[in-house]
Chains A and B, each alone.
Chain A
Amino acid sequence: MSVPGDDLAGFERRVRAVLEHDAGGLSGRVRSRLTRARHVAVAGARARRDTPHWRLLRTWLPATATAAAALAAVWLLRPYRTTPAPRPGTGIVTTQDVQLLTDRDGLALVEEGDGEFYEWAVARARSKSTSAAGGRGPGKHGG
């Protein structure tokens, strides 16, 4: 059955009024027991607050928090550990890479357009790897 919204709102108000009326009409026995229950509950909260466990927690909590904060600060501010250099081609930029990039001598060679040094270096590296693999002597390249 559909009920118009206005009717429902009016009905809701009437229900609330009836319920509130009843809340004031409870018997003395019920009120007395509820009051007693409230006092017992408050006493329970007080007893809980006064237990040695809680008192200990309340006493030591600030000290523990301070110690934890100090430990965290020490851990965060500790010096970085040096890590082994990564293998070439792993894509990780290291201090060695930065040194190479900022090397003035290397830059001068590039600016002079002298590619001969690099051709030599590459050929030398190839000959070394070939000799290591084949057990033969160094290549024909010289200084």
Chain B
Amino acid sequence: MDLPNSNAQTADRTLSLFLASVELKAFRIARAALRHEDDALDAVQDAMLHLARAYAHRPPEQWKPLFYRILENRIRDMQRRRSVRNRVMSWLPFTADPDGTSDPVAEAVSPEIPLVRRLELDESLAALERALAALPRRQQQVFLLRTLEGLDVAQTAHAMGCSQGSVKTHYFRALRALRAQLGDLE
């Protein structure tokens, strides 16, 4: 039996399972911050690749905070770059709309989600996304990491590069602001 090869396969499988477990939530967190689907996909892809290349040798229990730390840095970089790009583009007379060429087939919703249930929740979701988008970025990210990804306070602090006290403050403020804006979310 080729033991090193077997170990490598196990390592690949462990990493793949971890990435599969975080990819959808990571995409939603990135999309909330960047407000652009393709940019969010790029950010998640970069974070996955960076984690795999630089930290795959670390124990798997350390991966989640590391992954979200990388993603957070990537989102920040993209926001900075976008802000510079927007400033430059604002000087140009004609600007193509990158969002005007969406493919309706590719955008089709996954069929395994019941349509009735989806319609019931779509309105709430749209309102929630608008409210989330209006939050300050740190509050938004802390809120999504805690609520959507389920990171605890310490892991969120590590992912965000801030203190645990800051995480608690950001989270509470985000929750209160969303509650004030959305009322009883159904």
Chain A residues close to B by CB (< 8 Å): 1, 3, 7-8, 11-12, 14-16, 18-31, 33-35, 37-42, 44-46, 48-49
27 A-B pairs with CB atoms under 8 Å apart are A1-B176, A8-B175, A8-B176, A11-B175, A11-B179, A14-B186, A15-B128, A15-B185, A22-B125, A23-B24, A23-B25, A23-B28, A24-B113, A25-B109, A25-B113, A26-B109, A27-B108, A28-B106, A28-B110, A37-B23, A38-B16, A41-B19, A41-B49, A42-B52, A45-B11, A46-B8, A49-B8
Interface string of B113-124 (1 = CB under 8 A from A): 100011001001
**Of B40-48, B73-81, B82-90, the one with at least 4 CB within 8 A of chain A:** B40-48
Highest count of chain B CB atoms <10 Å: which of A12, A20, A27, A45: A45
Shortest beta-carbon distance from B109 to chain A in Å: 6
Shortest beta-carbon distance from A54 to chain B in Å: 9
Shortest beta-carbon distance from B103 to chain A in Å: 7
B154 within 8 A of A: no
Known: A21-B117, A41-B51. A1 touches B180 (CB 8 A): yes
Docked-complex contact B103 and A21, CB < 8 angstroms: no
Within 8 Å CB of B185, what residues of A? 11, 14-15, 18
Across chains A and B, which 3 residue pairs bring their CB atoms closest together, nearest first? A37-B45, A45-B52, A41-B48
Query: Besides A1-B176, A7-B179, A45-B11, 20 other CB < 8 A contacts?
Result: A3-B180, A11-B182, A12-B175, A14-B184, A16-B148, A19-B28, A19-B148, A21-B118, A24-B113, A26-B28, A30-B27, A30-B37, A31-B24, A34-B41, A37-B41, A40-B45, A40-B49, A41-B52, A42-B52, A49-B57
A1 and B173 CA atoms in complex are apart in Å by 11
Within 8 Å CB of A31, what residues of B? 24, 110
Docked-complex contact A38 and B23, CB < 8 angstroms: yes
Shortest beta-carbon distance from A58 to chain B in Å: 9
Looking at chain B's contact residues, the main secondary structure is helix
A7 and B20 CA atoms in complex are apart in Å by 34
Within 8 Å CB of A3, what residues of B? 176, 179-180
Known: A18-B185, A33-B45, A38-B23. A25 touches B110 (CB 8 A): yes
Docked-complex contact A38 and B148, CB < 8 angstroms: no
Shortest beta-carbon distance from B14 to chain A in Å: 10
Within 8 Å CB of B8, what residues of A? 46, 49
Within 8 Å CB of A49, what residues of B? 8, 11, 56-57
A15 and B47 CA atoms in complex are apart in Å by 26
State which of B44, B52, B56 has its C-beta within 8 Å of the C-beta of A34: B44
